[in-house]
């Protein structure tokens, strides 16, 4: 009987695991292999060059800039996004004041409307969001500088994407704006599953809203927060940062490589410069950074599971 059960499990998993190995694992293996060659990506002919690409990468100033920018994306964007989403979710679900004749625990007025507003950016593709903000950041006719002029701050007219000191922060703000709504809905669903009796008991014991959030809501949502942190970090290291930087910035990646991130640098080396082998080398470094980030978050975020 047991033999038949294991045979069924193996048979059930064989096809999905085979597809995963073919379309996910094998490309990674190929990338690592090509990183030891001089392949251009255009010609089928290439030679093994050993660690020459890795030595070149370690001496590449632009690579180190892109690595630094990617690490900023991975560290700051998830913290700001998840922190803001937790605050908004808490206010929507349990942060409101008690109204006459209403429940003791409730969200702020209009919480259902706020959920729709916060989730709206998820309806738009990241490419459309990037284009909209590229127009908004325009120093002459953009909405942001026009608003500053309208409120009497005409002397404060940043170049935004044209300023090497501001461009990276402006790009990160777009990613936060476009993704925070998803986590608001995700955390709201988690908070809605927490029994209201726990909040009422905490309030009766004299706990205020801040104490309730840190001692009750956050511990019970920690597994969701940790998963969201890893997911957001991977997005910031990969597709989200590439799309926003590629569409919004000059170069792209400018000015003066001030917004170049690793995934964009991989794209430029592979498809603009015809250096596919070197691009895969940077891709291997990006893979290691992503794995290290996920492992670090899982390690630091490990705590005893709470149940209710």
- Per-residue pLDDT tens digits for 122-137: 888 899 999 999 999 9
Contact (CB, 8 A) for 181 and 122? yes
Residue 167: inside a domain, yes or no?
yes
Phi, psi (rounded to 5 degrees) for 220: -75, -20
Burial class, 89, CB count within 10 angstroms (exposed 0-12 / middle 13-18 / buried 19+): buried
Residue 253: inside a domain, yes or no?
yes
Residue 305: inside a domain, yes or no?
no
Neighbouring C-beta atoms of residue 214, cutoff 10 Å: 11
Q: Is the pTM of this model over 0.75?
A: yes
Number of H helices, E strands in the chain: 15, 0
Contact (CB, 8 A) for 83 and 75? no
| Structure-token match 């893979």, residue found | 287
- Integer Cα distance of 134 and 126 in angstroms: 12
Residue 16: inside a domain, yes or no?
no
Residue 219: inside a domain, yes or no?
yes
Phi, psi (rounded to 5 degrees) for 197: -60, -35
The pLDDT value given to residue 12: 79
Using alpha carbons only, what angle is made at residue 69 by residues 66 and 71, rounded to the nearest 5 degrees? 110
The pLDDT value given to residue 82: 94
The pLDDT value given to residue 133: 94
Using alpha carbons only, what angle is made at residue 48 by residues 47 and 54, rounded to the nearest 5 degrees? 125
Domain count, the chain: 1
Residue-range definition of the domain harbouring residue 90? 51-300
The pLDDT value given to residue 215: 85
Nearest in space to 90 (alpha carbons), one of 204, 208, 263, 201: 208
The pLDDT value given to residue 103: 54
Contact (CB, 8 A) for 180 and 84? yes
Q: What is the CATH number of the domain that holds 268?
A: 1.10.3720.10
209-259 residue pLDDT tens: 888 888 888 888 888 898 889 989 898 898 889 999 999 998 889 888 999
Buried b (16+ CB within 10 A) or exposed e, 73-84: bbebbbebbbeb
Residue 86: inside a domain, yes or no?
yes
Residue 37: inside a domain, yes or no?
no
Please list the pLDDT of the chain residue by residue as tens digits (308 residues).
Answer: 455 667 777 777 888 888 999 998 998 899 899 999 999 888 888 899 999 999 999 999 999 999 999 999 999 999 999 999 999 988 888 766 665 555 556 677 777 788 888 888 888 889 999 999 999 999 888 899 999 999 988 888 899 999 999 999 999 999 999 999 999 989 988 888 888 788 778 877 777 888 888 888 888 888 889 888 998 989 889 888 999 999 999 888 988 899 999 999 999 999 988 899 999 999 999 999 999 998 988 888 776 665 65
Residue 148: inside a domain, yes or no?
yes
């Amino acid at each position: 009987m047991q033999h038949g059960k294991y045979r069924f499990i193996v048979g059930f998993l064989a096809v999905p695991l085979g597809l995963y190995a073919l379309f996910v694992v094998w490309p990674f293996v190929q990338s690592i292999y090509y990183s030891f060659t001089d392949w251009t990506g255009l010609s089928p002919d290439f030679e093994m060059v050993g660690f020459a690409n890795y030595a070149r990468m370690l001496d590449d100033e632009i690579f180190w800039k892109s690595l630094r920018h990617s690490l900023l994306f991975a560290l700051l964007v998830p913290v700001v996004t998840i922190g803001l989403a937790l605050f908004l979710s808490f206010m929507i679900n349990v942060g409101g004041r008690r109204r006459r004749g209403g429940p003791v625990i409730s969200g702020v007025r209009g919480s259902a409307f706020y959920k729709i507003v916060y989730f709206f950016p998820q309806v738009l593709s990241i490419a459309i969001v990037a284009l909209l903000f590229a127009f908004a950041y325009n120093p002459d006719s953009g909405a942001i500088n026009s608003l500053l002029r309208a409120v009497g701050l005409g002397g404060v007219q940043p170049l935004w994407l044209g300023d090497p000191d501001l461009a990276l922060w402006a790009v990160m703000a777009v990613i936060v704006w476009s993704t925070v709504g998803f986590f608001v809905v995700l955390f709201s669903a988690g908070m809605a599953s927490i029994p209201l009796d726990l909040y009422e008991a905490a309030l009766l014991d004299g706990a205020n809203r801040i104490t309730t959030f840190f001692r009750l809501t956050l511990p019970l949502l920690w597994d969701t927060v940790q998963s969201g942190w890893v997911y957001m970090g991977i997005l910031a290291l990969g597709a989200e940062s590439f799309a926003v930087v590629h569409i919004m910035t000059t170069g792209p990646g400018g000015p003066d490589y001030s917004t170049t991130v690793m995934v964009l640098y991989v794209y430029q080396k592979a498809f603009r410069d015809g250096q596919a082998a070197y691009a895969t080398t940077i891709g291997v470094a990006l893979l290691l950074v992503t794995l290290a980030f996920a492992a670090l978050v899982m390690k630091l975020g490990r705590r005893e599971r709470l149940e209710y």
